């Protein structure tokens, strides 16, 4: 599933190029997770103002007001070019503009493109309401993390994945951040001390920053809007390395399942 780094890498790969483009047509394929929410023809003539991100959602704003909230789902990707072929069976949304066509390809159709009058109104406000802090926001500190975990008895990794404390710490990045902070992923959230919360907050930011530098992670089919794959997975310390030696101590990396998601960790370097 594309996580925050992959979504941000996608945004950066086309946001500048599409800015100022005027919509000339909209083509819908098979239904996605939610309906578009307006007549596609109503978008023709609108000018793209900016493309921003909130969590794993992209917001394509129009100068005339309103915009499109986009989600890549489990396996979606966006491409932006002026030379796209005819839509295939997995291409479900084309936004044709004077500067090129933005296409959403999504084999599983868990992605979405939804019209909203504003980010803080309509469908967008409802979909974004439960999101936690952005990991690079000044407010995301060890103190915030420690306070948010108070009373949570679920394992710390599951608390990170929930997305209501901080967004962006998906499965790969939660495993890697917990390794960097030296914290066992099975530790109950409410038992995380303030000093360890500080280390974990810094590790989450550091892990996601490295992922952005490396273009995100490509485990199966992620590509940015240029068609480029990510490389973070090639530099992972624990994720996907079950049975291999820890880069720090040489102990074999363990794999367990938490909440139906695979967790990788070093049983020596990461303490409860």
Angle at the Cα of 162 from the Cα atoms of 156 and 167, rounded to 5 degrees: 105
pLDDT one digit per residue (tens) for the chain, 272 residues: 678 888 998 999 999 999 999 999 999 999 999 999 999 999 999 999 999 999 999 999 999 999 999 999 988 999 998 877 889 899 999 999 999 999 999 999 999 999 999 999 999 999 999 999 999 999 999 999 999 999 899 999 999 999 999 998 989 999 999 999 999 999 999 999 999 999 999 999 999 998 888 876 544 444 444 444 455 667 889 999 999 999 999 999 999 999 999 999 999 999 99
Q: So what's the architecture of 4-128 in CATH?
A: Alpha-Beta Barrel (3.20)
Q: Where does CATH 1.10.8.50 sit in the chain?
A: 142-265
135 given a catalytic annotation: no
Q: Domain 142-265 has what CATH class?
A: mainly alpha
State residue 95 phi and psi, 5-degree precision.
-110, 100
Of 53, 56, 199, 254, which is the active-site residue? 56
56 in catalytic set: yes
Three-state secondary-structure class, residue 137: coil
- Residue 28 to residue 136: CA distance in whole angstroms: 35
Q: Which two tokens stand for residue 56?
A: 């794993």
Of the candidates 3, 6, 8, 176, the residue annotated as catalytic is 3
| Site of tokens 């491409």 | 79
205 is an active site residue? no
| Segment 221-270, tens digit of pLDDT | 444 444 444 556 678 899 999 999 999 999 999 999 999 999 999 999 99
Residues of the chain with CATH 3.20.190.10: 4-128
Note the pLDDT tens digit of each residue in 137-155.
999 999 999 999 998 999 9
CA distance 178 to 170: 12
**Residue 103 buriedness (CB in 10 A; 0-12 / 13-18 / 19+):** buried
Q: Is 86 a catalytic residue?
A: no
The pTM (predicted TM-score) of the whole model is 0.89
């Amino acid at each position: 599933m594309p996580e925050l780094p992959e979504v941000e890498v996608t945004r950066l790969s086309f946001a500048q190029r599409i800015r100022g483009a005027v919509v000339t047509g909209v083509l819908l394929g098979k239904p996605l997770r939610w309906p578009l929410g307006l007549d596609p023809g109503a978008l023709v003539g609108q000018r793209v103002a900016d493309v921003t991100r909130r969590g794993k959602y992209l917001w394509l704003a129009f100068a005339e007001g309103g915009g499109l909230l986009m989600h890549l789902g489990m396996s979606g990707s966006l491409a932006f070019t002026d030379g796209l072929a005819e839509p295939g069976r997995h291409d479900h949304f084309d936004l044709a503009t004077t500067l090129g066509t933005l296409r959403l390809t999504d084999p599983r159709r868990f992605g979405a493109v939804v019209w909203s009058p504003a980010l803080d109104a309509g469908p967008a406000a409802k979909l974004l309401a439960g999101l936690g802090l952005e990991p690079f926001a000044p407010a995301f500190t060890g103190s915030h993390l420690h306070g948010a975990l108070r009373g949570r008895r679920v394992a710390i990794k599951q608390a990170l994945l929930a997305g209501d404390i901080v967004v962006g710490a998906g499965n790969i990045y939660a495993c890697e951040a917990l390794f960097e902070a030296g914290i066992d992923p099975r530790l109950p959230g409410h038992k995380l001390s303030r000093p360890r919360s500080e280390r974990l907050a810094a590790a989450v930011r550091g892990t996601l920053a490295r992922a952005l530098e490396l273009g995100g992670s490509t485990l199966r089919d992620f590509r940015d809007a240029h068609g480029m794959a990510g490389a973070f997975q090639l530099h992972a310390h624990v994720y996907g390395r079950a049975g291999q030696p820890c880069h720090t101590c040489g102990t074999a990396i363990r794999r367990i399942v938490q909440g139906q998601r695979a967790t990788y960790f070093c049983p020596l370097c990461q303490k409860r």
